[in-house]
Amino acid sequence: MAKDSSHEVPGTGTHRVVVIVDENSNPFELGCASEVFGLRRPEIGRDLYDFRLCSPEPRTLMRDGFFTLTGVAGLKAADTADTLIVPNRPDIEVPRRPAVLDAVRRAHARGARLVGFCSGAFTLAEAGVLDGRRATAHWQWADAFRARFPAVRLEADVLFVDDGDILTAAGSAAALDLGLHVVRRDHGAEIANFVSRRLVFAAHRDGGQRQFVERPVPELPDESLAPVLAWAQARLDTPLTVSGLAARAAVSPATLHRRFQAQLGTTPLAWLTGERLALACRLIERGESRVEVVARRSGLGGAANLRRLMRRETGLTPSEYKRRFGSGVK
């Protein structure tokens, strides 16, 4: 969850998300942005964002000539964005168009939120808005990025980086992770879960790129953590320990720890705490205002522990979280 909520969705009007599509842009990330930010949400009962595409040219040839994009707004539409998603292209050594870089700089100067998917970090860095800031990019390009943009604090082992008003995602599928993170940051965990269920995609994936670099798939299919994860998720309000999870999985605690690190990129205890905190957020969003009840039903113990974890992970106290995301304001 986001620790920095400085760029909030305005209380009136609909937050506008604009995607700049440039020559040789990747269709997959464009599709991710359209799915997360552009679709109507009848299951929610309202639209979350005003979404539009723009391009510096009337006809834009997509990556490897897959297709030509036409019928979208001109680049001036970027000047109306509350959130601007910048172009991502596989030709990382080719300079971006000056007009595109100027649009990114203008958006940053007026306080818009900037998002880069995959190689989009190169666009942001080339525009000069990432100097001294945290960012990530696809692990294959980490060395090239560091050599070209030494002033940027690249974090190559994570799925995405939220640096407040600038957010970047790693490989292509991480665009979905970051997109859902933005929805969760703007609208809360419950709405993000609605969106993730429609996508048939996990609302939050622990871990980072390293799990994909070192071992793309588990060596043994029967080592999947799915059964024990599902079992634990159904019992978050009960006492659960790492030893208990290991016993359920019929392995030693040390083996369970290794499997969590290999498959999820995190520890059993950190995963369990994250799941309980997500449940606590959903309970608050659904109207439960008694902090002690939320803490007990989510398995977090007492009110003090809940307050500490929520402040650490969301930047908000339970009461502040309720005011922002509770059912009374939906």
CATH number at residue 264: 1.10.10.60
Same domain, 267 and 193: no
Q: What does the pLDDT average to over 160-184? A: 90
Give me the phi and psi of 160, to 5 degrees please. -155, 165
Domain residues for 239? 222-330
Q: What does the pLDDT average to over 172-179? A: 86
pLDDT at residue number 202: 59
pLDDT at 255 over 60: yes
- Assess if residue 10 is contained within a domain: no
Write the secondary structure of 249-278 as one string of H (helix), E (strand) and C (coil): CCCCHHHHHHHHHHHCCCCHHHHHHHHHHH
pLDDT at residue number 144: 93
Per the listing, tokens 């006492």 go with: 239
Beta carbons of 21 and 73 less than 8 angstroms apart: no
Question: Among 199, 234, 254, which residue terminates a domain?
Answer: 199
Q: How many whole angstroms separate alpha carbon 205 and alpha carbon 177?
A: 7
Q: How many whole angstroms separate alpha carbon 230 and alpha carbon 236?
A: 10
Sheet strands (E) in 151-233: 153-154, 160-162, 166-169
Question: Among 142, 165, 199, which residue terminates a domain?
Answer: 199
pLDDT at 215 over 50: no
CATH number at residue 88: 3.40.50.880
Amino acid letter, residue 4? D
pLDDT at residue number 205: 57
Same domain, 85 and 141: yes
Q: What does the pLDDT average to over 298-325? A: 89
For residue range 107-147, what is the model confidence (pLDDT) as tens digits? 999 999 999 998 999 999 999 999 999 999 988 889 999 99
Same domain, 292 and 327: yes
Residue 69 or residue 40, greater confidence: 69
Secondary structure of residue 54 in the 3-state scheme: strand
- What is the number of domains present in the chain? 2
pTM of the model: 0.68
Same domain, 170 and 24: yes
- Torsion sign across C-alpha atoms 117, 73, 18, 98: positive
Beta carbons of 298 and 239 less than 8 angstroms apart: no
Q: How many whole angstroms separate alpha carbon 132 and alpha carbon 164?
A: 13
Contacts of residues 254-263 at CB distance under 8 Å and 24 or more positions apart, as own/partner, are: 256/228, 259/223, 259/225, 260/225, 262/211, 262/215, 262/218, 263/211, 263/218, 263/223, 263/224, 263/225
Strands 60-61 and 16-20: unpaired
For residue range 53-108, what is the model confidence (pLDDT) as tens digits? 999 999 998 888 788 999 999 999 999 999 999 988 888 888 899 999 999 999 99
Rounded to whole angstroms, what are the CA distances from 246 to 241, 249, 272?
Answer: 9, 5, 13
Same domain, 43 and 181: yes
pLDDT band at 43 (very low <50, low <70, confident <90, very high): confident
Q: What does the pLDDT average to over 195-212? A: 59
Per the listing, tokens 């106290």 go with: 317
Task: For residue 39, give every residue at least 6 positions away whose Cβ sits within 8 Å of its Cβ, in sequence order, or none.
Answer: 198
